[in-house]
């Protein structure tokens, strides 16, 4: 019996026996628009609708048996849900390690240290020029460290879509740490560290005012 070749999704298939190919058309496994070829067709691939297979589609497909009584239906396949790796879970835990975030959290103590150093050098830290300069440099330093912290989060893949985090520091570090924790899914301890350092710094400043 003649061997045939057929086209499926733009790919050549075969060889296959004529009866088997006719069965494929009869069962609608292949459309009649699919091109076929055999030695009898010469050098041209021809749509099956222009060959003897055009009558195959009129042949009724084989009758399938009814469902087996008492048989349990096959469970529908479910898509596997990827689970985050252990390293990813560790990175997303509330205690995510980030030196930059720790620097920001402890930054209020840096301002207290500057004031203590100034007073030790007989400089009034509340003087206009000194206070403005120290506040400016402290703000710029915090912004730079925030940028570095966000870059670290992006490299770890903890900020999908590279959503904005750094601009929230303009609201205060409270806004930054809130936004950061909301996106990363953890790291709230840095917010509490910052608030604790603010309280310590305020207490230190108050002590100097009272002693002064």
| Helix, strand and coil in the chain, % to nearest 5 | 60, 10, 35
DSSP 69: T
Structural domains in the chain plus CATH codes: 3-58 (3.30.1490.40), 89-211 (no CATH)
Handedness of CA 29, 35, 38, 40 (dihedral sign): positive
Q: What is the pLDDT of residue 86?
A: 47
Distance of alpha carbon 56 from alpha carbon 94, whole angstroms: 66
Q: With a cut of 70, say whether residue 148 has pLDDT above it.
A: yes
User: 107 or 161: which carries more pLDDT confidence?
Assistant: 107
Distance of alpha carbon 165 from alpha carbon 147, whole angstroms: 9
Stretch 129-136: mean pLDDT? 81
- Tens of pLDDT, residue by residue over 75-107, are 655 555 445 444 444 444 444 557 888 888 898
Confidence at 196, pLDDT banded by 50, 70, 90: very high
* Terminal Cα-to-Cα distance of the chain (whole angstroms): 111
Q: What is the pTM of this model?
A: 0.48
- Among 33-37, 84-88, 158-162, 171-175, which stretch is predicted with the lowest mean pLDDT? 84-88
- Tens of pLDDT, residue by residue over 163-195, are 888 888 888 888 888 888 888 777 788 889 889
- Among 39-48, 54-63, 95-104, 120-129, which stretch is predicted with the lowest mean pLDDT? 54-63
Mean pLDDT of the chain: 78
CA-nearest of 64, 65, 63, 51 to 22 is 51
């Amino acid at each position: 019996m003649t061997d045939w070749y057929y086209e499926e999704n733009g790919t050549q298939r075969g060889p296959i026996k004529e009866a088997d190919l006719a069965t494929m058309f009869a069962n609608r496994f292949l459309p009649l628009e699919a091109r076929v070829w055999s030695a009898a067709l010469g050098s041209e691939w021809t749509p099956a609708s222009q060959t003897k297979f055009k009558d195959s589609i009129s042949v009724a497909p084989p009758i399938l048996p009814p469902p087996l009584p008492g048989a349990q239906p096959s469970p529908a396949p479910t898509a596997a849900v990827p689970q985050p790796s252990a390293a990813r879970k560790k990175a997303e835990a509330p205690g995510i390690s980030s030196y930059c975030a720790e620097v920001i959290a402890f930054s209020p103590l840096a301002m207290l240290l500057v004031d203590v150093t100034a007073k030790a050098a007989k400089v009034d830290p509340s003087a206009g020029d000194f206070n403005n300069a120290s506040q400016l440099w402290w703000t710029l330093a915090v912004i730079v460290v925030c940028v570095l912290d966000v870059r670290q989060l992006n490299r770890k893949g903890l900020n999908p879509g590279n959503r904005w985090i750094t601009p929230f520091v303009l609201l205060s570090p409270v806004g930054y740490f809130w936004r950061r924790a909301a996106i990363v899914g953890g790291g709230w301890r840095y917010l509490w560290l910052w608030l604790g350092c603010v309280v310590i710094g305020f207490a230190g400043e108050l002590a100097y005012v009272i002693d002064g």
